[in-house]
Structure 1
């Protein structure tokens, strides 16, 4: 799913990418107004999908189109970088700015304050659907569930907080602590060399040389050697597309020319192909051909807003929450980064002649782990009354 929101608190309707070759309208059953989608062979976004998203979907709902320019912030995923997209963006008064590499977890607004709440709300809605309807989550109902979670997670409040926390709007250079931007210690440490050029049994700590007199110091010395090797490797110049566009305006003439030159350099043969021998030709015939696949999503991290931790439980009725902890999602699973399903059980007890019908988390809020068919389950309140 491709999501987008503005600093003014307006969210672009979601755009879904399904695996397949032909789009089926049934996949968008229950979609929110404006939501759309397309297909790709892998189910991931690629340059063609992103081009379709910008031209056919984004332009319909982008605010401020009365001759005003729009700044579109993107990460450096390869599907976002294309010369034809940059030329088209210039014509449409859109400035595409690529965030610096490896900073999306602290600079990309939706990663910082929206996708964390979206994941929790989506997980809770999946639990609710499976529990109430005994139906599985399939490609034909996932759009309806995701749209509900999207509208709640990308609300105006969360979007305002997202751009404020990243220091983008209002502009605040102090929003990101400096220690979050400094290089890792792995690339700053050094070993000490003797006068003869050999490594010594000493390490440098804050400018002070200490002798390696303990086993811990000896291990530290070997660790610093490894860090030194990594430092040399990381400082080696690399000719990659990410280095050309990282932290720059993609729609500028200089960047577009650099991208075109990079593509030409990649197409030039570096070495003459070696002549095939009989053995090599046999190996080529036997080796399986690799299928070309669309690029997978980049390493964007999920950050959870402390102010949005309870947002997923606010819209859930009290009858559907656990009678012990008063929550829909157990505290132990609240910050899980993967989909984890909580086990529930409904009380079979009677209170003043009426069924209790309280729901309770198994394992987390009771000592009961499994309920089998035909078993009678009592919530902790009914157990106390019965005793």
Structure 2
């Protein structure tokens, strides 16, 4: 049996940042073990891939409030390592009349954070005429309006994950990949049982953080003695070629909050290809069976959308990849402690919006495991008790 002050289960971006936040706590100088079920690097969970959007623009105040800290942490990681992890890139948010309320809330949240001293936040509200003038590559409908956040960016996801893990190990953390957790036994010293290198293995810890991604229900429900309202989705990710003689593509990341929830990332990953997707192109899938023979969901809705709004793109995808989402009923993550056992905390159900918030999730789990510390974050919006 190995003993640690902290064990973190799951080395996706949330678990890796949690382990990093714990190991760099100079006050405690704790021993920290980070466990991963698959050999690293891998593409089995939700944190793989080349890019993620990072932004302040959310309709919910509790999300927007996290982002100045998240941006600061990512930039500090760049400074500490000399790695380029965040590419500044504007984010264009648009909506038709079905989501004007959400767009107005997003603009209000940005103004509120600016008023609190968020000088790094820069944005502008756009009418239909503004959209047409500033983004002539797109064909918007007269009922579209939006805002552009100039302070947004793109995280280089795979590189980000590898960098956080490298920093964790550099500070003395232990990372074990290929450790398949089979059960967690609460107690004065928590036992994590599993299989490692073909043998039964047990590690013991004073405090445990669980960041299980798509395996949340399987690992957490026995501990919580209740069902968790989560679904695991296999999401298809599409890349579309820019036409050689067309009007090109907007030089910004993109979110359309109307029907279909379309979103896109400009030409960063593959030369001449734009990532443009919809959350509607997903099907429910067991994470252990995600690569069994299957047909990608029909993408006709995306094709029609491109024909209507982005004439600079071919309307047949050049590349299709997959990603796993773990989705809660309200599309907000669950970050909480196991009832009656504050030595075990967990984070799950990020619904496709978790990567950018990884630094803050790590701090929130650290806060839950050390309630005697100053309470920095309001945990109520993320509590399991809301369901």
TM-score by length of 2: 0.19
Q: Which of 1 and 2 has higher RCO (CA within 8 Å, sep 6+)?
A: 2
Larger helix fraction of residues: 1
TM-score by length of 1: 0.19
Larger strand fraction of residues: 2
